[in-house]
Structures are given as C-alpha cells and as structure tokens.
Amino acid sequence: MPSERQSATTENLPERQSAVAENPFHQLRCVRAARMVRNSGMQRLIATLTDGDSAAALAEAQRLRDAGVPVERIVNEGLETAMEQVDAKCTVEAFNLLEIMLVGRAVTVVANELYLRGIPPDRSKATVVIATPEGDVHDLGKNIVTMVLTGKGYRVVDLGRNCPVSALSEAVEREQAAAVLLSGLLTTVIPQVRRVRPALAERGLFDVKILAGGAALRQASTEELDVDYVAQTAFDGARLLESCLAERPA
Ligand code: B12
C-alpha cells in the first residue's frame, strides 16, 4: 500500500512524464538549456584557446564534440573566434610573438584532434600550399600563418622551409590548391618567388592565387614579386585570402 506522499509523486507518473515531454514549452526549455550548456562550453573553449592552454582547450573541444556539437561549429565558432580575438590585438607594430605562438599551438592541437588526418578537402574552406622558398630556412612566420589559417578552417599543406619551386607547383597540382603562400625572410629569395607563377602556368594552373609575406617580401610590391598579394601579417594574409577566394567563380 503506497503512502499518501508516495502516491502523490508516483501516481500516473508515465502519463504525466509523457504529457510534460510533449508540452511544446517544455521542449523549448530543453532546447534552450542544451544550447546554453553548449554555448558556455564554446565560451570556455575560446577562453582556453586565447589563454594558450593547449591541454584545457583540447579537453573542452572533446567535451563539445562528445555532446554532439558538429566539428564545423567547433572550428567556426570556437577556433575561428579565438583567432579573431588574437587578430584584434596584433598589428605589425604590436605583435606579441610568444602569445600568438601559444594560441596558435593550442589551435593546432585542437584542429589535429578534430581532424586526425588534417582538415579533409570537402570540409575545409579551401586547400592552400605554403612554404619558405629554397635558400631560406626561416620558418617561424610560416608556421604562424599555417596555424592562423588552420584555425580559420583552411586545409594547409605545409611544404616546410628551403622548398624548391618545382616541389611547390607539383604540390599545388596534386592537392588541387586554390592558393600558394610564400614566406620569405631573406631578400635573396625574391628570384625564387618570381619563378612561382611561370612554374604554375607550365602545369596549366592559371587560377591559383599567389600570396607573399615575411619580413623580406612584405617590403616588395606585387609587381616586383609577380604575386597577387603581399601581406603584412599572418592575419592580414588570412583576410586577403578570404576575399580573393570569395571572388573565384563557384
Ligand atoms: C630568428 C631568425 C633566424 C633564425 C631562424 C629560425 C627559424 N626557425 O625560423 C636562424 C638563427 C636560423 C636565422 C638564420 C639566418 N638569418 Co635570420 N633572422 C631571424 C630574426 C631574428 C627573426 C625572424 C623571425 O622569425 N621573426 C618572427 C616572425 C614571426 O616574423 P615574420 O617571419 O616576418 O612573420 C610574420 C609576418 O611577416 C607574416 N608572414 C610571414 N610569412 C608569411 C607568408 C604569408 C603568405 C603571409 C600571408 C604572412 C607571412 O606572419 C608572421 C606574423 O604576422 C630576423 C630579424 C628580424 N627582426 O626579422 C633575422 C633575419 C631574417 N636573418 C637574417 C639573416 C641574414 C640570416 C642568415 C643568412 C644569417 C647567416 N649569416 O647565417 C641565416 C639564414 C640562413 C638561410 N639560408 O636561411 C637577416 C635577413 C636579411 C635580409 N633582408 O636578407 C635578418 C633580417 C637579420 C638582419 N637584420 O640582418 N635567422
């Protein structure tokens, strides 16, 4: 015999539960609650990324993914927002190298976890090939550009430093890249940069955009380098890439 209190709480429980579940206001509340949990998770992901805390960012990203948040949303609303916040603080004059390296590393760790084999071509904004041309071993700037673009959802094929022009054009064709990014710190690599467009043309790759950056190249003009754009910073390059790829025919 159930007690009075027990029967008040358990009487017709299944029916009451399903009535509550079918109530549209209840459903709306559930959707809102789930969204709030995810949004606060996304805010935590952004905060851990901008703190440069790779381990905490990785844990937040895994939690969001396990809660059913699509990988694209984690990249677009989490990684990209974090990079935008760092972008807002970084100009050519005020550029905190340590901070950007830490944030970039955290973004890369999360991106590698979300896309174990790199961002697949069909889920990325576009594929780009990046390298430091042959004769130049500087690669810190190139690595930052790679991290920024990965955080913004591009698939970046990094050919490393001291890269021959032939390897670049070969990779652009193989990877069906939309753009080539060249990072140069030595003025002596300018002749290498000028060889890139003819090397692409030899393979019939006329629509591929060429972007240059790095301390030596950013002092030169697009005509001197025979490239489409010269970027001052990694973020500047990301914006140029975004706008020049948007102009492409669909
Ligand atoms: C660190 C450094 C080195 C390190 C490189 C370590 C590494 N893994 O990269 C080491 C010690 C190896 C080195 C070696 C040499 N170096 Co050195 N090096 C530097 C130094 C101090 C900093 C460069 C750097 O990493 N800056 C930080 C990065 C983040 O800046 P950044 O590359 O410009 O990138 C930013 C932007 O430009 C942009 N960006 C970069 N690339 C791209 C590309 C694209 C597409 C886009 C969109 C954006 C973009 O993104 C970044 C963030 O916004 C500079 C001096 C200076 N103040 O620049 C000299 C400097 C570049 N080196 C120089 C020289 C001469 C050499 C050596 C030849 C020295 C020697 N005699 O052996 C050798 C090079 C050997 C070779 N064959 O390459 C000269 C170059 C002179 C010139 N104009 O040609 C400089 C300017 C020093 C000087 N004042 O004389 N170097």
* Domain final position from 92, 114, 136: 114
> Do 139 and 108 sit in the same domain of this protein?
no
**What distance in angstroms lies between residue 77's CA and the mean position of ligand 1's atoms?**
33
Is there a domain that residue 7 lies in?
no
> Do 136 and 95 sit in the same domain of this protein?
no
Point out the least confidently predicted range of 61-65, 80-84, 245-249: 245-249
Closest protein CA for atom 82 of ligand 1: 186
> Do 144 and 244 sit in the same domain of this protein?
yes
**What distance in angstroms lies between residue 218's CA and the mean position of ligand 1's atoms?**
12
CB 86 within 8 A of CB 99: yes
Is there a domain that residue 182 lies in?
yes
Amino acid at 232: Q
> Do 143 and 235 sit in the same domain of this protein?
yes
Q: How far apart are the C-alpha atoms of 212 and 194, rounded to whole Å?
A: 11
Is there a domain that residue 250 lies in?
yes
> Do 109 and 129 sit in the same domain of this protein?
no
Is there a domain that residue 4 lies in?
no
- Report the pLDDT averaged over residues 81-95: 75
> Do 80 and 190 sit in the same domain of this protein?
no
Is there a domain that residue 97 lies in?
yes
Q: Kindly give the number of the ligand 1 atom that is closest to the alpha carbon of 238.
A: 47
CATH number at residue 58: 1.10.1240.10
pLDDT exceeds 90 at position 136 = yes
**What distance in angstroms lies between residue 140's CA and the mean position of ligand 1's atoms?**
8
pLDDT digits (tens, 9 = 90+) for 146-187: 888 988 889 999 999 999 999 999 999 999 999 999 999 999
pLDDT digits (tens, 9 = 90+) for 194-217: 999 999 999 999 999 999 999 999
| Token digits of residue 80 | 């990209």
Angle between helices 140-151 and 80-89 (to 10 degrees): 130
Q: Which of 199, 127, 124 is nearest to 163 (CA)?
A: 199
Is there a domain that residue 3 lies in?
no
Total structural domains within the chain: 2
> Do 110 and 126 sit in the same domain of this protein?
no
| Token digits of residue 138 | 């500087």
Q: Tokens 């070969």 belong to which residue?
A: 170
Best residue among 132, 138, 182 to mutate for probing ligand 1's pocket (most ligand atoms within 8 Å of CB) is: 138
* Domain final position from 81, 96, 114: 114
Write the DSSP assignment of the chain as a string of letters.
Answer: ---HHHHHHHTTHHHHHHHHHH-HHHHHHHHHHHHHHHHHHHHHHHHHHHTT-HHHHHHHHHHHHHTT--HHHIIIIIIHHHHHHHHHH--SSS--HHHHHHHHHHHHHHHHHHSTTS--GGGSS-EEEEEPBTT----HHHHHHHHHHHHTT-EEEE--SSB-HHHHHHHHHHHT-SEEEEE--SGGGHHHHHTHHHHHHHTT--S-EEEEESTTGGGS-HHHHT-SEE-SSHHHHHHHHHHHHHTS--
Is there a domain that residue 110 lies in?
yes
CATH number at residue 130: 3.40.50.280
Pocket of ligand 1 from Cβ distances under 6 Å: 97, 135-142, 144-145, 181-183, 185-187, 211-216, 218, 231, 233-234, 237
> Do 82 and 149 sit in the same domain of this protein?
no
Q: Which domain holds residue 40?
A: 16-114
How does residue 1 score in pLDDT terms, banded at 50, 70 and 90? very low
Give the model's pLDDT for residue 153: 85
Q: How far apart are the C-alpha atoms of 180 and 208, rounded to whole Å?
A: 7
